[in-house]
Chains A and B, each alone.
Chain A
Amino acid sequence: MSNRRTFLKTLGLSSASFVLGVSSFAKGNAVVNMTTDPLSLALEINPFIVIQPSGQITLINPRPDMGQGSTQAVPSLLAEELEVSLDQVTIAQSDGKGKYGNQTSGGSSSVRALWTPIRQAGAAAKEMLIKAAAQRWSVPESECYVEKAKVIHRPSGKSLTYGEVADDASKLEIPKNPKLKDAKDFKIIGKYAPRLDVPARVTGKAVYGIDVEVPGMVYAVMLHSPMIHGKVVSIDDSEALKIKGVQKVLKCERPMPHRTSEAVAIIADNYWAALSAKKAVKVQWDNGTLGQTLTTAAYFKKCAEAATKEGLKAEEEGDFAATFGAAAKKLEAVYETPFLAHAPMEPENAIAHIKDDGTAEVWAPIQGPDWALRDLAGYLKIKPEQIKINVALLGGAFGRKAYHDFLLEACFLSKDVKKPVKLVWTREDDITQGPYRPGMMARMQGGVDAKGNIVAYHHHPIGESIQFQVFKAPSNKPDDWVCGELSQKEQKYNIPAFKISYTHVPTEIPIVWWRSVYASNFGFSQEGFFDELAHAANKDPLKARLELMSDARFKKVLETLAEKANWGEKLPAGQGKGIAIFKSFGSISACCVTVAKQGTGVKIEKVVSVIDCGHYVNPDNVKAQTEGNIVMGITAAVKKGITFTNGQSDHTNFHQYQVMRMNEMPKVEIHIVESGAEPGGVGEPGLPPIAPALANAVFAATGKRIRRLPFDLNTLA
């Protein structure tokens, strides 16, 4: 027993539940403890199932929920194998400790990574519960089955609840090869079910990071350098300190992976006082030459120069130079995509408490408690065991909340004021400070032979790299996160001469992954340029793709799209349709956009999206995520990107950095291809095909080729 008690204590479950608003743990028994499960050790994650004598079943969920539905998807995997209903599983969020393995919601990975291990954990627990009950009854296990959290003895009809046999079961050996259910017997996976967290989210009861309060905390507001990497020369806080409730104004820092910037913070009794003081503080910044160097124009100029030269070769099938050289028609083009802010509706925020004994506790809406633990330990120079992380619900994230500058800022401040500090970024901080989706360029080359076959293709991404800026990888080789995804093996275009290159162009503008990462940049260049090649070959863009693709899943997605979007139909004058297909995060997604000419521009009439994500948990959530991807994908294509002039962002809040709203919503239709393949991602793959399909539709309707995002729907410029 003592072991189990220690286990629960280490988890600190009661306070985790305080933050997350899940029902709290009694000081009960951890009955099925999967920590030593050899299966899990061999796999990526190490989940915990806790069954208490009361019958309460708890899953320690290793993937924070930012709106993508992990708090339904993950327990569904467990409930399916354990033969319980979803409302019988309580969820606690993991705290970043190594024993839980990878805990980051990112890369559309939750279901993909947990599909096997969580089901195995559930199946193993089920076998152990059956065995324990059979032993108690002295009957063969084969005479027992489970249903609704009970073990039932078939011949006699007697039963025991999971809670009643949990303690006995915990003493049994964990089966190494528990039998998993056949997909045809699934009762939960693949079926519609309402998400159980929705009621809390519509009644104002869901507790997001920004809603957490801890005793004794003070509020903090950051005054970041408008030029991001400016240095603090002097601070005049005389007016600010006159504001009631303002406690302190101090010089502090913003730690980013590639460098630490100087900043100023205001500490106050309440957030409003801190915000008011922010306007009253006068800071003199030393901006050095940032006015010239920290601009998006300077960065894209360097990218454009790189686009006139060869890059580092990442892949080559066939002989590109020879085939391209001999092609009857040669096409060359440069595509460009802007920097973008994530702008989750909940701004970045965190509470940090650095205690007198040197230990630290934080509460924050973060995507990966495991990464946060690593970053906190490194920054505070203490051991992971001295850090406690409480993950709160995330009010959107899209990649932003896996970057921990705001969390480390709060730590710096708490260390200084020796109290828990609640830091809340303003929307202006969020939009002007980054990190951003990197702006990128792509040089494209392609050749069509005399018979009209697309025979040569070269995709050459150019720009800053997350791998290099954030993870400091050596930059003398191609970024394989960029190039791997674009490879022929992934995208399935059987073009005889197929080449991928890369050129790294550094920038000091902070960057990080953004929903679908590079696929959001290079899905546009790949699919926009393919449309150009198809037209050069005098081929229908859909048929041109089908001709080159032999992969059955890609073909099925395209054929489904053709049917659902009525691809061959005759369109009224002034309308045009465009398509695109892209594989990312293990799923294949294609879409068809219909536009109609309107004045000097176009109006988006309809978007039909098709996704093959293999096995999925809840079809409604697949659709919801794809709807979100359509909205974010259109926003990224037609709303202003982030630009830096004179060293600072040209946009500060939603009045300038505009996002799509309801009045701009086209008709939307989503179809899932049931391939029964291994699960793919759902949170991101719907996004990459949107912008190119839209640009291709604009070409079909107007003859204007869009190679640079964003473009204005009203003017097509």
Chain B
Amino acid sequence: MAAITLDINGKKHDLDIDPKMPLLWAIRDVVGLKGTKFGCGMAQCGACTVHMNGHPTRSCVLPVQSVVGSKITTIEGIGTEENLHPVQKAWIDEQVPQCGYCQSGQIMAAAALLKDKPTPTDADITSAMQGHICRCGTYDRIRKAIHTAAKSKSPKGEMSGGK
């Protein structure tokens, strides 16, 4: 056990945990943010994707000791029902989720993609999203929703939360 300070969604959390604990379990079971999901535990499915300093990262294989000092953003940190991130809004407009379990990870990956490439091509979308499994099979809608989100951005091209 060790004292570990994590910066999650702009808030500091002082935790006394095993430094080797993957970030996923610290986020879910210690900090109590349940939106980030467990799907495989070996960087295969993308369900656990969060942003580390803005980059999409698999939290299930990332020991907490390696993220000290980094800014972590989870699905709860990018938008809320009252103040949706444009990607979340597009996901509602296109009615993407079925069970929805994979969608936190999909949305985090899509949000990072759009920050990088505000108007992604189909090929950009495929390469950014193919690491994410959706067993319900929502891939077509994910692609559509990313294009929708790209079109809906503010004129300045900011992918900021809310409107």
Contact = CB atoms under 8 A, between A and B. Distances in A.
A654 B139 contact: no
A244 B40 CA distance: 24
A647 interface: no
B3 interface: no
**Among A195, A208, A395, A668: residue with most chain B CB under 10 A:** A395
B103 interface: yes
A201 interface: yes
A68 interface: yes
Given A67-B136, A345-B47, A628-B98, A653 B92 contact: no
B38 A210 contact: yes
A42 interface: no
B65 interface: no
B78 to A, nearest CB: 9
Interface stretch (A139-147, A580-588, A629-637): A629-637
Nearest to B108: A204
B132 A662 contact: yes
Interface stretch (B29-37, B51-59, B150-158): B29-37
A345 B75 contact: no
Nearest to A204: B35
A202 B107 CA distance: 8
B113 interface: no
B25 A271 contact: yes
A487 to B, nearest CB: 30
Interface string A191-203: 0001101111111
B107 to A, nearest CB: 6
Contacts of B28: 211
Contact of A396 (B20, B80, B101, B107): B101
B126 A663 contact: yes
Contact of A203 (B45, B75, B137): B75
B117 interface: no
Interface in B61-110: 74-76, 79-81, 84, 88, 91-92, 95-104, 107
Nearest to B105: A345
B138 interface: yes
Given A203-B79, A203-B84, A198 B92 contact: yes
A343 B134 CA distance: 10
B99 A195 contact: no
Query: Main SS of the interface on chain B?
Result: loop
Contact of A627 (B103, B107, B137): B137
Contacts of A210: 34, 37-38
Contact of B101 (A200, A272, A346): A346
B29 A272 contact: yes
Given A270-B30, A271-B25, A659 B135 contact: yes
Interface string A418-434: 00000010110000000
B65 to A, nearest CB: 13
A665 interface: yes
B37 A346 contact: yes
B41 interface: yes
B91 A345 contact: no
Contact of A204 (B25, B75, B130, B141): B75
B39 interface: yes
A346 B47 CA distance: 9
A55 interface: no
A202 B91 contact: yes
A66 interface: yes
Interface string A267-298: 00011110110000000000000000000000
A653 B42 contact: yes
A344 B80 CA distance: 26
Contact of A345 (B1, B37, B76, B127): B37
Contact of B141 (A194, A203, A625, A627): A627
B21 interface: yes
Contact of A271 (B29, B33, B47, B76): B29
Interface in A629-676: 629-632, 653-655, 659-663, 665, 668
A424 to B, nearest CB: 7
B44 A194 contact: no
Interface of B: 1, 18, 20-22, 25, 28-30, 33-42, 44-45, 47, 74-76, 79-81, 84, 88, 91-92, 95-104, 107, 125-127, 129-143
Which 8 residue pairs spanning A and B have beta carbons closest together? A204-B35, A631-B137, A67-B99, A395-B101, A201-B100, A204-B75, A67-B98, A628-B137
28 contacts: A67-B101, A67-B136, A194-B92, A198-B92, A198-B97, A201-B99, A203-B35, A219-B29, A271-B25, A271-B29, A272-B18, A272-B21, A344-B101, A345-B45, A345-B47, A345-B102, A346-B99, A393-B99, A395-B100, A426-B41, A629-B137, A631-B136, A631-B139, A653-B40, A662-B129, A663-B126, A663-B130, A665-B140
